[in-house]
Amino acid sequence: MELSKGIQTFIQTSRVARMATVDADGCPHIVPICYAYDGSRLYSAVDKKPKRVEANLLRRLVNIRANPRICVIIDEYDEDWSRLRFIIIHGIAAIEPEGTEHSRAVNLLRKKYPQYQAMNLAEGVNPVIAITPTKVVSWGTFE
């Protein structure tokens, strides 16, 4: 998918996004995520921040298993509304519990977020969500 350099830079440098999943019955669920972007896919780890259930039972993972279509929004608010901007990424999510892609994603996340450098993101325990964009919608200025 061809994206402008400005949009790619915005995706790569933004610190947080919101990811929406939908369960098998069509109920939406949205969570904030930390993510890394390699120019073609976004990656988000199920990390060690406090969770109420074990990783594989998290609603976002259960939903992705039932319906891999997701939506991510990365936005920037400003009191000067002429500077508002956002990117909506529609995509297909895959759960990567281990392997080459998991390792690659963890390396990208550790480069972007210092907090991940000290955090154990073990294969088989902390899966990674890999998102392949199918459609990108943007609004605002990305120079």
Domain ranges of the chain: 5-139
Fold of 5-139: Pnp Oxidase; Chain A (2.30.110)
Q: Which of 138, 128, 131, 49 is nearest to 95 (CA)?
A: 128
Q: What's CA 2's distance to the chain center, in Å?
A: 19
Task: Round the average pLDDT of the chain to a whole number and report it.
Answer: 92
Q: What is the pLDDT of residues 119-137, one digit of tens each?
A: 888 767 789 999 999 999 9
pLDDT of residue 15: 97
Question: pTM (2 decimals)?
Answer: 0.92
Compute φ and ψ for 32, nearest 5 degrees: -75, 145
Alpha helix (H) residue ranges in the chain: 5-13, 59-66, 100-112, 114-117
Q: What is the pLDDT of residues 37-92, one digit of tens each?
A: 999 999 999 976 555 656 677 899 999 999 999 999 999 999 999 999 999 999 99
Residue 77 corresponds to which tokens in the numbers above? 């608010």
